[in-house]
Homo-oligomer: A and B are copies of this chain.
Amino acid sequence: MITVIAGGVGAARLLSGLVEVHDPADITVVANIADDIELHGLHISPDLDTITYTLAGAVDPDTGWGLAGETWAAMDAVERYGGVTWFRLGDRDLGTHLYRTQRLGEGAALSQVTAEITAAWGLRLRLLPVTDDRVRTMVTVDGEGEIGFQEYFVQRRHAVPVTAVRFDGADAATPAPGVLEAFARADVVVIAPSNPIVSVDPVLAVPGVRAAVETARDRTVAVSPIVAGAALKGPADRLLRELGHAATVVGVAELYAPLASVLVIDEADAALSSAVEAEGLRCLVAPTVMSTPERAGALGTTVLEALRR
């Protein structure tokens, strides 16, 4: 049994590798939902959808999110009205949000709806939102005040200075059915190469989850999202710096040392290996840049074998 803490694109790529080298039926994904957003009355779950579309082989290969071959008729129409278009939703992708919103309105839990959506795409692994409750990452932007995560990430292209991040609603949230069990029963827990601050931390912020991962520390492997001092995608490096951490694999090691016994870092950071281990976890050096399916599969194997090496 493998349980993976997942954000969006980086996690989705690692998962696409893991399902090539391990039976998907034995894989549970505990995904971030704190960057979900309500727009146009629709409930949008970017990380759940990125993972689903990627594993279904339907993701847009150029962006790493959204659907390949997407059309934009609805968004063009919204634009005509002068509506909200900074968060672009393709026509086929809209179908997912329409369905999710309809089902949530009928009283279904997000975890239930997610199971329905992944089943429709033929996914065999289990994709769990970390909670069925509402948790939202709120970002305090220097000189502007607190804004929603997508307002920071998409609308401002994460190009503004951040002074604080908090997870609104996390204190009152409950782990979705199966989440805590997935950590307790896992032979391997994987912290995917997602943003530690805004993808992994909001998963851990749901009461009970951090403790469940800490309890599984000896079985937990993290993959650094920082390679050579930079995030492959998104603002992980910048956020780490702005919030007082080192934007290096050592900074990641410091954050993950209470949670994981192994940190996988890229070959580009091999020289930092002993500094990583000084943080109190074992360091494994391997190619981590998943530029091809083969490389994603190889990283999957590395991660699954990490505890044995």
Contact = CB atoms under 8 A, between A and B. Distances in A.
Interface centre among A40, A76, A78 (most CB of B within 10 A): A40
Given A42-B40, A91-B71, A81 B105 contact: no
Interface stretch (A94-102, A164-172, A225-233, A273-281): A94-102
A308 interface: no
A159 interface: no
B81 A99 contact: yes
Interface string A56-82: 000000000000000101111111111
A255 interface: no
Given A41-B41, A71-B73, A78 B95 contact: yes
A81 B43 contact: no
A96 B81 contact: yes
A45 to B, nearest CB: 13
Contact of A42 (B41, B83, B103): B41
A62 B39 CA distance: 32
A109 to B, nearest CB: 16
Chief secondary structure at chain A's binding surface: helix
B71 A120 contact: no
B40 A116 contact: no
Contact of A83 (B40, B41, B78, B98): B98
A75 B120 CA distance: 15
A102 to B, nearest CB: 5
Contacts of A94: 73-74, 77, 91, 94
Nearest to A39: B102
Interface string A28-43: 0000000000111111
A217 to B, nearest CB: 38
Contact of A78 (B71, B75, B99): B99
A92 B76 contact: yes
A38 B98 CA distance: 11
B102 A77 contact: no
Interface in A245-282: none
A38 B77 CA distance: 19
Contacts of A83: 95, 98-99, 102-103
A78 B97 CA distance: 9
A117 interface: yes
Given A92-B76, A95-B74, A81 B116 contact: yes
B71 A84 contact: no
Interface in A108-123: 116-117, 120
Contact of A40 (B39, B81, B101, B120): B101
B101 A80 contact: no
Given A40-B42, A41-B105, A83-B102, 20 more contacts: A38-B105, A40-B101, A41-B101, A41-B104, A42-B101, A71-B71, A71-B73, A71-B91, A73-B90, A73-B91, A73-B92, A74-B94, A77-B91, A77-B92, A78-B95, A78-B99, A81-B99, A81-B120, A84-B102, A91-B94
